[in-house]
Amino acid sequence: MTTQIGILVIGNEILDGIVLDTNSQWLINQLKALNFQVSEKMTVRDEIQVISKALRRMLLAGANLIFTTGGLGPTHDDKTLAGVAMAFELPVELNDKALTIVTRQYTEMHQRGVIETGEITEPRRKMAILPKGARPLDNRVGGAPGVVLDVEGAQIICLPGVPGELMWIFDNQLLALLKGMIEGVFAEEVIYLPLRDESTLAPIIDEVMQDVPGVYIKSMVKPYGESGIRLWVSSSGQSQTEVEERVHRVANLLVRRCEEQLPQG
């Protein structure tokens, strides 16, 4: 079955113009590197019924892999999981694994002195209440676990709206799952470069992408707050050897050109 992907962006802050949604573009580019195309995106308000209907509408339009972003936090306006539960007529229940994640995160934040108490208050406990049958995705950046639910022949993946948390969960908890869904073969190499300025890298990336077609290069500055730049070089096709060779060639080319042309810092 072909994967048909929808992204459901949830949050009044987007539809009220307060926040510019950049999460979905980031997601789209990561998915593109895995050879997936996104069919449509919807953006809706923080209302349980509205979220539920949006999910039903996306399924009806043929989506079988839906990413939601936002609405997993502790406050009253975080309603994504209640919306997912309503869409599939599932009860919600406290998920032990999710509670372990939430507890660990707040304990650690308390130990680091970021928050006053590590106690699992009602708002924090709320983040571990998932639709029945869903499983949590670890989150080591913030407090809200991601969520995966397999239901009605579709997969629903709920990610937090805070960009760093969404990115961490995607890179560390979802890549393996998504790689298993790729049609054809796929290869990727990650390169770290001790550079400060992404803009000096842009023409080198453009050059290399022109020299070796069929390769996707994604760059990110300080992806998780670290200094430097991280590059993801990926490609897909029919032959594993060919794809791996192509990715490796481009990775080497990038490192060499950067060493030749850029000051290290």
The residue from 49, 123, 152, 259 that contacts its own copies (CB under 8 A) is 123
Our finding on whether 124 is near its own copies (CB under 8 A) is yes
Q: Please name the amino acid found at residue 108.
A: E
Min dist CB 123 to its own copies, Å, is 4
Name, in order, each residue with C-beta under 8 angstroms of 228's C-beta and a sequence gap of 6 or more. 192, 193, 194, 195, 196, 221, 222
Q: How far apart are CA 33 and CA 248, in angstroms?
A: 15
Q: Which of residues 145-184 bind its own copies (CB under 8 A)?
A: 162
Our finding on whether 41 is near its own copies (CB under 8 A) is yes
Which of 190/241 has CB closer to its own copies? 190
String of DSSP letters for 108-143 = HHHHTTSSS-----HHHHHTTEEETT-EEE--SSSS
Pure H helices in the chain = 12-15, 23-33, 48-60, 80-87, 96-111, 122-126, 163-169, 175-179, 202-211, 240-261
Min dist CB 179 to its own copies, Å, is 18
Counting Cα atoms < 13 Å in the Cβ hemisphere of 141 gives: 21
62 — alpha (psi -120 to 50), left (phi > 0) or beta?
left
Q: What is the CA radius of gyration of the chain?
A: 20
The residue from 201, 247, 254, 258 that contacts its own copies (CB under 8 A) is 201
Min dist CB 170 to its own copies, Å, is 14
Our finding on whether 198 is near its own copies (CB under 8 A) is yes
Our finding on whether 49 is near its own copies (CB under 8 A) is no
Our finding on whether 191 is near its own copies (CB under 8 A) is no
The residue from 97, 135, 218, 249 that contacts its own copies (CB under 8 A) is 218
Residues binding its own copies (CB under 8 A): 9, 12-22, 25-26, 28-29, 32, 37-45, 50, 53-54, 57, 61, 73-77, 109, 114-116, 121-124, 143, 162, 196-203, 205-206, 209, 216, 218-221, 223, 232, 263, 265
